Amino acid sequence: MDELIIAGRSFRSRLMVGTGKFASNAQMAATIAASGGEIVTVALRRVNVGDQQDDLLNHIDRNKYLLLPNTSGARNAEEAIRLARLARAAGCEPWIKLEVTPDPYYLLPDPIETLKAAEILVKEGFIVLPYINADPVLAKHLQEVGVATVMPLGAPIGSNKGLKTRDSIAIIIEQAIVPVVVDAGLGAPSHAAEAMELGADAVMINTAMAVAGNPVMMAAAFGKAVEAGRQAYLAGLGKEQKQAVASSPLTGFLRDE
């Protein structure tokens, strides 16, 4: 069976799903279910002591889904490490989606701080899944310090622009010794399929589902696209040709040549 294996743990689905920006927790839960995803990301924030909201975790069955906390909001390695430790203290398994994004406009990940944090968190026993720009050299350095995956961006977070970093991601995939998860910027199921056809091991989607006219239906569409793209990759795509190559013999009975 074709399974995704991260840090020794196997998953049937190659689609990771985020839980941000949904209209309600019920809608979020229905969307995750429709996606078929098994890895679900969450963020950590200060409790609003005076005004407590409906707890997100009431809607996520943790026997069914792996909760993957992120370090969103961290602007440097120190803040990311603090968030990772807090997530573990809050009862999560020691899996962490490492995000260090000092720039509020493009939310691009800081490669130096990410590498620093990854090295320390791996030593502390965390299973580290770093969000990175599509930089093959950085991906290598991260693998050397022991990360469990690399998660290069297709385009800036929430931009829905698609696989703008395609050529660099192809190099990361070619050289990777851990699963490559394309994260961020994928706005349509066709983008997800494209990443999977390219040989990505998984994709991560949040905004494209959450802001869709019908998030549940969009999640199902992404689920199919990821499966289709994976199957196409395994089947082996034909090579691009410069000129036409006829599908049927051109010589025949119409003319004597």
How far, CA to CA in Å, does 148 sit from each of 144, 167, 214, 226? Answer: 10, 22, 33, 21
Judged by CB under 8 A, the residue of 2, 46, 51, 238 near other proteins is: 46
249 interacts with other proteins by CB under 8 A: no
Residues 220 and 202: their CA atoms lie apart, in Å, by 16
Instruction: Indicate if 164 belongs to the active site.
Output: no
Q: Report which DSSP code applies to 98.
A: E
Q: How far is the CB of 90 from other proteins (least distance, A)?
A: 4
Give me the helices (H) in 65-188, please.
Answer: 77-89, 111-123, 136-145, 166-175
28 interacts with other proteins by CB under 8 A: yes
Judged by CB under 8 A, the residue of 15, 67, 150, 202 near other proteins is: 67
Residues 170 and 95: their CA atoms lie apart, in Å, by 26
215 interacts with other proteins by CB under 8 A: no
Amino acid in position 161 = K
Q: How far is the CB of 251 from other proteins (least distance, A)?
A: 56
Q: How far is the CB of 157 from other proteins (least distance, A)?
A: 7
Adjacent-strand bridge partners of 182: 203
3-state secondary structure (DSSP) of residue 5: strand
Give the largest CA-CA distance in the chain: 89
Q: Report which DSSP code applies to 121.
A: H
35 interacts with other proteins by CB under 8 A: no
Residues 30 and 210: their CA atoms lie apart, in Å, by 11
Q: How far is the CB of 200 from other proteins (least distance, A)?
A: 17
26 interacts with other proteins by CB under 8 A: no
240 interacts with other proteins by CB under 8 A: no
Judged by CB under 8 A, the residue of 31, 35, 72, 149 near other proteins is: 72
Nearer of residues 69 and 152 to other proteins, judged by Cβ: 69
Q: How far is the CB of 183 from other proteins (least distance, A)?
A: 8
Window 149 to 188, contacts with other proteins (CB under 8 A): 157-158, 184
Window 192 to 211, contacts with other proteins (CB under 8 A): 204, 206-207
Contact by Cβ (8 Å): 176, 139 = yes
Residues 144 and 89: their CA atoms lie apart, in Å, by 27
The residues annotated with a catalytic role in the active site are 97
Binding site for other proteins (CB under 8 A): 18-22, 28, 41-47, 49, 52, 55-57, 67, 69-70, 72, 85-87, 89-91, 157-158, 184, 204, 206-207
